[in-house]
């Protein structure tokens, strides 16, 4: 039995990928008999215990203009919960205030593993592109992360790249500083057969393309509008359906209304069956984000039987193959070509190919891989 704590920041009611990672790994660990503590920021302090999983929220302020994300400032509260839980290992999904907790864990001889959910260079380019000495800042932040934790988990080579730049190399040995561990997908919740249960509203389009993304600057949601304009210019009636919200949502809605673009904004969808039905019913999925370090929504879409179109420089290009998607430059013309290509292909055959590819990624395999490292941590 290994007692595993996972602490996270930049968390809110609409935290898609991070929430999924914590919940799915927590469930897998608990199924194998390992007690789990999940600590995240929230509006108030709270504690809930379900079987082997303890969920804690620590009261934390919202980050301005982030769309509801919160960051824990009172890290001593996190330490207090960790002391009570007595973890054997700690997982860290943050490189801001919680690195202080990781350094505390090191002093207490508690092994820590950091999950590289984002790339600092991508965040800096998105929000501070004119900031001087960007490279030095990025390397300083990555070195601080490296020196604060025992192990760094990159889910793709793209995620690992910025750590290569500070001298780390991927190695699968448990003692390695940088390891590669792909994430998984729930193959029961996201299933290509759910297409039979898709939305049947008389106003719902029979054919559409889908994007599931946070509407914030680093995700480049404006590219979806450029694709919509290209579809209109070619007189292609296929609408773009966008599931997601964020700080740019109101502005994007205004552009869609002003230009009368064939775009449907659904807002954030929390119900997984509804999301899987949306994914399964689409002819293709548009993963426009340039700095995704994995792309859980894209993998969930593949499991739902729908091919993915993504940026060739992003991590999702490592997840798809020739049968399940296309990796392209940021060109609305090229993306519309791909949309049309998938609309022409036999949908049933494409569905089988994308589902088969997604079945190579499971949360059980992800958890098993991590537990190999943690057993070594506890034994040494």
Question: At 79, phi and psi to the nearest 5?
Answer: -60, -40
How far, in Å, are 145, 153, 310 from residue 190 at the CA level?
34, 25, 20
Model confidence at 87, pLDDT cuts 50, 70, 90, reads: very high
Taking residues 338-343, report their average pLDDT.
97
Walk me through the domains of the chain, giving residue ranges and CATH numbers. 4-184+362-379 (3.40.50.2000), 192-358 (3.40.50.2000)
Residue pLDDT, tens place only, 304-340: 999 999 999 889 999 999 999 999 999 999 999 999 9
Residue pLDDT, tens place only, 110-155: 999 999 988 877 777 666 666 777 788 888 999 999 999 999 999 9
pTM flag (> 0.85) = yes
* Burial zone of 235 (CB within 10 Å; 0-12 exposed, 13-18 middle, 19+ buried): exposed
Residue pLDDT, tens place only, 34-53: 999 999 999 999 999 999 99
Q: Is the dihedral of CA 375, 376, 377, 378 positive or negative?
A: positive
Q: How far apart are CA 291 and CA 123, in angstroms?
A: 8
Model confidence at 198, pLDDT cuts 50, 70, 90, reads: low
Higher pLDDT, 17 or 8: 8
pLDDT given for residue 134 in this prediction: 77
Model confidence at 238, pLDDT cuts 50, 70, 90, reads: very high
Please give the sequence-ordered ranges of beta strands (E in DSSP) within 135-239, or none if there are none.
151-154, 178-180, 209-212
Asked if the model's pLDDT at residue 202 lies above 60, the reply is: no
Model confidence at 271, pLDDT cuts 50, 70, 90, reads: confident
Asked if the model's pLDDT at residue 14 lies above 90, the reply is: no
Average pLDDT, the chain: 91
Asked if the model's pLDDT at residue 197 lies above 80, the reply is: no
Query: Are 316 and 298 within 8 A, CB to CB?
Result: yes
Residue pLDDT, tens place only, 289-302: 988 888 899 999 99
């Amino acid at each position: 039995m290994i007692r595993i704590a996972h602490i996270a920041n930049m968390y809110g009611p609409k935290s898609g990928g991070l929430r999924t990672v914590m919940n799915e790994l927590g469930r897998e660990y608990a199924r194998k008999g390992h007690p789990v503590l999940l600590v995240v920021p929230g509006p108030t302090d709270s504690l809930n215990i379900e079987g082997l999983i303890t969920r804690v929220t620590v009261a934390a302020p919202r980050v301005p203009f982030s769309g509801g994300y919160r960051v824990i400032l009172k890290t001593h509260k996190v330490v207090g919960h960790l002391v009570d839980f007595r973890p054997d290992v700690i997982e860290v999904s943050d490189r801001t205030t919680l690195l202080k907790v990781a350094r505390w864990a090191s002093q207490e001889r508690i092994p820590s593993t950091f999950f590289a959910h984002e790339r600092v260079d991508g965040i800096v380019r998105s929000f501070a592109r004119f900031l001087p000495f960007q490279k030095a800042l990025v390397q300083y932040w990555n070195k601080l992360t490296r020196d604060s934790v025992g192990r760094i988990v990159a889910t793709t080579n793209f995620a690992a790249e910025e750590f290569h730049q500070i001298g780390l190399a991927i190695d699968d040995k448990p003692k390695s500083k940088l390891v590669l561990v792909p994430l998984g997908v729930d193959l029961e919740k996201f299933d290509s057969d759910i297409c039979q249960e898709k939305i049947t509203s008389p106003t719902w389009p029979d054919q559409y393309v889908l994007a599931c993304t946070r509407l914030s600057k680093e995700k480049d949601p404006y590219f979806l509008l450029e694709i919509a304009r290209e579809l209109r210019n070619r007189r292609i009636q296929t609408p773009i359906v966008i599931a997601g919200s964020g700080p740019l949502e109101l502005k994007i809605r205004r552009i869609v209304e002003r230009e009368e673009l064939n775009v449907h904004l659904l807002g954030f969808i929390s119900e997984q069956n509804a999301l899987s039905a949306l994914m399964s019913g689409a002819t293709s999925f548009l993963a426009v984000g340039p700095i995704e370090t994995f792309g859980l929504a894209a993998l969930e879409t593949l499991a739902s039987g729908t091919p993915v179109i993504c940026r060739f420089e992003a991590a999702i290009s490592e997840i798809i193959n020739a049968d399940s998607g296309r990796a392209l430059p940021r060109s609305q013309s090229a993306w519309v070509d791909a949309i049309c290509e998938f609309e022409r292909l036999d949908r049933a055959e494409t569905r089988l190919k994308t589902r088969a590819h997604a079945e190579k990624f499971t949360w059980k395999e992800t958890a098993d891989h991590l537990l190999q490292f943690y057993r070594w941590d506890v034994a040494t």
